[in-house]
């Protein structure tokens, strides 16, 4: 018996897969999602064996979802776009169902899954470890009573907030459940710099650097000013030509 989750922003797409799954009693549907944010939460919660994944969805794409998974299930992509096929197989998807597809085509995809041995499945997890080492281009943040996605390019700075962190863009503030040190490890060091025990800055958001005692003051594009602690001043000095 294998646990299955369906991710598709179109109800008709989810319904079709559920209908086709009725012919496979050993494939048990444990959940479904209509967007990438919910997909990440439900996949990480239920740890399915197989996910039928749409690619083009609002907010996060199917590929974005993979970057946020704790464990990689077997993936069968289901999409109306053929342009992602090469990328799909680069992340070791078992199959690529191009909508609209027939029950016979669905049977072929599921047949590939049933033919996989544990030794063949193992490299998928190893590949996912490499995938997760790539720094995300979008992150999930809390806004009020909901979660939204935010491009890391739009992040101006991050500040510690107890055991949590506040993420600031040009004009808004979002809450992260992660501490600042966790976020520091998750974000690209080529873009984000720790300038204080309680502050990380996006270098591309810095407009000016002013002297501040024996250290520096960073003035961001939105006029926000951030102090650089003396212990981190050498990082700023290293960027100067």
The secondary structure of the chain in percent helix, strand, coil, rounded to multiples of 5, reads 35, 35, 30
Does position 190 have pLDDT exceeding 90, yes or no?
A: no
C-alpha dihedral over 37, 199, 170, 235, to 10 degrees?
-110
The pLDDT tens digits of the residues spanning 192-237 come to 999 999 999 999 999 999 999 889 999 999 999 999 999 999 988 8
Output the pLDDT for position 115.
Answer: 60
Cα gap 88→76, rounded to integer Å: 9
Whether 221 and 202 have beta carbons less than 8 Å apart is answered as no
Cα gap 22→17, rounded to integer Å: 9
CATH number for the domain formed by residue range(s) 150-239? 2.40.50.1020
pTM beyond 0.85: no
- The pLDDT of 86-96, averaged and rounded, is 74
Q: Which residue has the tokens 């646990």?
A: 3
Matching CATH topology for 2-132 and 150-239? no
Which has the minimum average pLDDT: 44-48, 111-115, 159-163?
Answer: 111-115
Domain edges within the chain? 2-132, 150-239
Which has the minimum average pLDDT: 13-22, 69-78, 107-116, 190-199?
Answer: 107-116
Output the pLDDT for position 240.
Answer: 80
CATH number for the domain formed by residue range(s) 2-132? 3.40.50.2300
Contacts of 92 (CB under 8 A, 6+ apart): 75, 123, 124, 127
Which stretch of DSSP H or E encloses residue 183? helix 180-186
């Amino acid at each position: 018996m294998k646990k299955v989750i369906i991710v598709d922003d179109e109800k008709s797409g989810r319904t079709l897969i559920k209908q086709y799954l009725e012919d496979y009693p050993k494939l048990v549907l444990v959940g479904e999602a209509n967007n990438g944010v919910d997909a990440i939460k439900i996949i990480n919660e239920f740890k399915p064996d197989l996910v039928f994944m749409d690619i083009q969805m609002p907010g996060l794409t199917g590929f974005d979802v993979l970057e946020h998974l704790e464990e990689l299930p077997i993936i069968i992509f289901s999409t109306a776009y053929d342009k992602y096929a090469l990328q799909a197989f680069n992340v070791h998807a078992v199959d690529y169902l191009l909508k609209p597809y027939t029950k016979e085509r669905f049977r072929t995809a599921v047949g590939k899954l049933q033919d996989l041995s544990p030794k063949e499945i193992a490299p998928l997890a190893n590949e996912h470890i490499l995938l997760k080492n790539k720094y995300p281009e979008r992150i999930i943040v809390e806004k009020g009573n909901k979660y939204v996605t935010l491009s890391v390019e739009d992040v101006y700075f991050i500040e510690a907030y107890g055991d949590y962190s506040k993420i600031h863009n040009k004009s808004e503030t979002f809450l992260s459940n992660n501490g600042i040190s966790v976020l520091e490890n998750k974000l690209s060091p080529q873009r984000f710099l720790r300038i204080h025990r309680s502050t990380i800055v996006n270098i591309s958001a810095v407009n000016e650097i002013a002297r501040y005692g024996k250290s520096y003051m960073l003035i961001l594009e939105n006029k926000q000013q951030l102090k650089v602690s003396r212990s981190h001043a050498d990082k700023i000095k290293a960027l100067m030509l």
